[in-house]
Amino acid sequence: MQYCEKAGVTEVIDLSALKERLLEQVRHSITQNTAEWETSYICKPSQFFNTNDSVFYADNKDIADYECEFIIKTQLEDGSWAIPWGWVAYPEEWAISKNWWKGNGAILNMLYLKGMGRLQV
């Protein structure tokens, strides 16, 4: 949607209808039950946007701000974050992949905090 807006592509797709639908879908896709965030594979605001100037922020401000607090609160001693899921059927592969996921999560969490104005670099 944003690429189409930037390119001025309006004859191929109704951008206002697409924007309206995306706003609705993002709002409905974010897991509002924050108790599930620590133990389940769920959707958080950061999976849809990572700055407070995103078109999706206004409709999801409270839960997006909560995610900032959640990230700060759940950081582990080693600077990483727990991965709330695993590959039960593949324990050896998971032992290796888990470190990659932790590194990926650390980068994404830092970018989210920065984009939300919670991390000064």
Q: Which spans in 30-90 are helix H?
A: 61-74
- 120 falls within a domain: no
Which domain, by its residues, includes 54? 2-115
Residue type, 67: E
Average pLDDT, integer, range 37-55: 94
pTM (whole model) above 0.85: yes
Residue 94 lies in a domain: yes
In angstroms, the CA 22 to CA 48 distance is: 10
Residue 64 has phi, psi (to 5 degrees) of -70, -40
3 state DSSP class of 9: coil
What is the rounded average pLDDT of the residues 6-17?
88
Residue 24 within any structural domain of the chain: yes
Supply the mean pLDDT for the chain.
94
Work out how many domains the chain is built from and give that number.
Answer: 1
In a domain, 33, yes or no: yes
Tell me if 121 is assigned to some domain: no
**What is the distance between the alpha carbons of residues 81 and 73, in angstroms, rounded to a whole number?**
10
> The dihedral of CA 101, 103, 106, 107: what is its sign?
negative
pLDDT tens string 79-114: 999 998 889 999 999 999 999 999 999 999 999 999
Domain annotation covers residue 12: yes
Confidence (pLDDT) at 41: 87
Burial 55-93 (b: 16+ CB within 10 A, else e): ebbeebeebbebbbebbeeeeeeeeebebeeeeeeeeee
pLDDT band at 10 (very low <50, low <70, confident <90, very high): confident
